[in-house]
Chain A
């Protein structure tokens, strides 16, 4: 890792530093064909059955935020990682690392919301673990999950995007940046009051409906940390395709835009927890939009760009005023600007 001999917060940001850490450390030492694909869910074959398998950890601060809490987030996040791989989420594990002195009623509220969300998403929480650590050894509560789902053969390519080709359309299912800005606004030190609510939601039903009605989907990814921009920049590099995005077509709520402006953030890089980027054959995009629009979680769905044979490996944005600029991964966390 060159001169970076310590782990920095940026290594967990989902941007370039995270990618470096993953490829130069984890993939290097754990190397195997499944991990090498670096998809959100690994697709495994067990006795002729395709299984999607994923894991994630949740350390959000604050643990309660407008629109959800760490527990709901854990279920939604795990369900979504499976769903975007083209799988039907089935079973989830939950490990709790709890700081000594944490409020029992808060923990119960969190567990209840996990149960509700699991029910809504049609998954069962089938195994778990509890550890309590000394005060100060963790921040209130951390949750780790794993999830498995079943996946049809015909959908096994979706997580990797191996069938993407020029002309495919890029769709987002709604407003971007809600989760990241809701959590930021909920932090005490910012002293900001807002009506921004996290978009935290399980997308499995929505995605299932689409997969059942079309075979045109070539890629899906939930745009969590690093936002829509990071997913697209990474995809362009990995698949060596060109990506063209129309900035104007990306839906951003006015209050999210305001808050971003205030801090010098770009909403395209802000985290979402209920947003999926769908890439699909042009002729099926209309049908997919129709299905999305019928669902609460896809009402604001839009086509935001397309895959092109120009500038392979790069994602470009046509800016709101008609200019052009490149879309790159973030180096670390977005930092508020000075003036």
Chain B
């Protein structure tokens, strides 16, 4: 990948400063004037109270980082949803990763966020300090490279995230399978979004509409939301991640609400195609199969997780690596689950900013950059 001055949008990564081609970074989507105009329009049309949930952790972070709540009228309440990969990952998964890391011949490869998440009695960060071979990678494919360069070690990649990161894990498994990299394994905690969005409504969480995850939808397409609007009567606007995107999405949802016409709309048109990315979906389907999975705060949801298919079983860490995993202990007092469901705000938690801080997190929501508690702690205490 190349990064040079003057380039911006993904897809323009190879534009050099001197070429004059391509878009100017993302300034258009951070334009104060446009944001203010949108804010004014929202204030003008918003009459009745409305609760909107941003599903994706990336949205939560952007909303807090840009101070968007300070621009909205009192009629609008924003709730954080279950779309932070680290936050919904079970403590049992962390315990299992820690157990693997304690094996002499195992190297753990992971996205960075995960290393500070508390397991039952330790964190990957602490295991690393005690000598475990734990490496932060930026893509699943890097983990395959590490496996190829270290044939004497079993290299486990911790696969977390939704439809956005799962295709990368699928591609890594597929590459390891093709190249016969027998020492590469995936520990999958990959999940899919729609069951969680439906479960929240089934559980009685009071929301009027979803700010739906833009990047997930680039893969899945918009059909995954038809139930949400038809069966549950909720608005669903697929949003980008910049302030202008978010303000426009909020405006679209408020308009739907005021007109009593909940529907699926795409705000993030520059990235989302209605039919998504069929190639990525094919790859997902080739490598993974649906299974029931556990979500922090939501419990076990039917067909919400991605397990590795039998064909690729030799790269499945769960099947292939034996380790003694300590019994899982949940922390008392932490209301991560309620926060993830949007029932409580981080500030409702007794531990918030007291017993639980980013340097001494109790729950995962305080660890991840995209966790609601972390975002509130950093930007809105």
Contact = CB atoms under 8 A, between A and B. Distances in A.
A16 B1 contact: no
A325 B359 contact: no
Contacts of A326: 378-381
A286 interface: no
Interface stretch (B2-10, B47-55, B74-82): B2-10
Contacts of A9: 125, 128-129
Given A322-B32, A331-B358, A337 B243 contact: no
B125 A8 contact: yes
Nearest to B163: A339
Interface stretch (A46-54, A69-77, A187-195): A187-195
Contacts of A3: 360
B36 A322 contact: yes
Contacts of A196: 3
Interface string B264-306: 0000000000000000000000000000000000000000000
B66 A192 contact: no
A338 B111 contact: yes
A126 interface: no
Kindly state the interface size class of chain B when it binds its partner.
Answer: 35 or more
Interface string A293-337: 000000000000000000000000101111111101011100111
Contacts of B30: 320-321
Contacts of B129: 6-9
Contacts of B379: 325-326, 328
B238 interface: no
Nearest to A193: B2
A62 interface: no
Contact of A332 (B5, B64, B137, B358): B358
Contact of A338 (B3, B26, B113, B381): B113
B26 A261 contact: yes
A266 B31 CA distance: 18
B359 A332 contact: yes
B5 A255 contact: yes
A49 B120 CA distance: 56
B3 A335 contact: no
B357 A331 contact: yes
A189 to B, nearest CB: 7
B126 A319 contact: no
Contact of B2 (A192, A257, A261, A317): A192
A203 interface: no
Contacts of A20: 359
A185 interface: yes
Nearest to B36: A322
Given A8-B129, A339-B165, A325 B65 contact: yes
Contacts of B17: 195, 254-255
Contacts of A262: 3
B268 to A, nearest CB: 14
A263 B209 CA distance: 29
B90 interface: no
Contacts of B86: 338
Interface in B1-23: 1-8, 17
Given A261-B26, A328-B378, A335-B115, A6 B126 contact: yes
A56 B129 CA distance: 23
B36 A319 contact: no
Contacts of B345: none
B1 A191 contact: yes
B136 interface: yes
B349 interface: no
Contacts of B312: none
B66 A319 contact: yes
B58 A335 contact: no
A338 B370 contact: yes
Contact of B380 (A255, A325, A330): A325
A258 interface: yes
A194 B7 CA distance: 11
Interface string A8-21: 11100001110010
A40 B328 CA distance: 44
Interface string B103-122: 00000000111011000000
B232 interface: no
Nearest to B244: A321
B359 A17 contact: yes
Contacts of A6: 126, 129-130
A2 interface: yes
A320 B111 contact: no
A320 to B, nearest CB: 5
Interface in A178-232: 185, 189-196
Contacts of A319: 65-67
A10 to B, nearest CB: 7
Contacts of A325: 64-67, 378-380
A339 B85 contact: yes
A7 B125 CA distance: 10
A190 B1 CA distance: 9
Contact of A321 (B7, B35, B58): B35
Interface of A: 2-4, 6-10, 15-17, 20, 185, 189-196, 248, 253-255, 257-259, 261-264, 266, 317, 319-326, 328, 330-332, 335-339
Given A8-B126, A192-B1, A262-B3, 6 more contacts: A10-B125, A189-B137, A192-B3, A320-B243, A323-B67, A339-B58
18 contacts: A3-B360, A8-B128, A9-B128, A9-B129, A10-B359, A16-B358, A185-B3, A192-B3, A321-B30, A321-B32, A321-B71, A321-B243, A324-B70, A325-B64, A325-B65, A326-B380, A337-B58, A339-B165
Shortest Cβ-Cβ A-B pairs, 7 listed? A323-B67, A331-B358, A335-B112, A325-B379, A331-B359, A194-B3, A6-B129
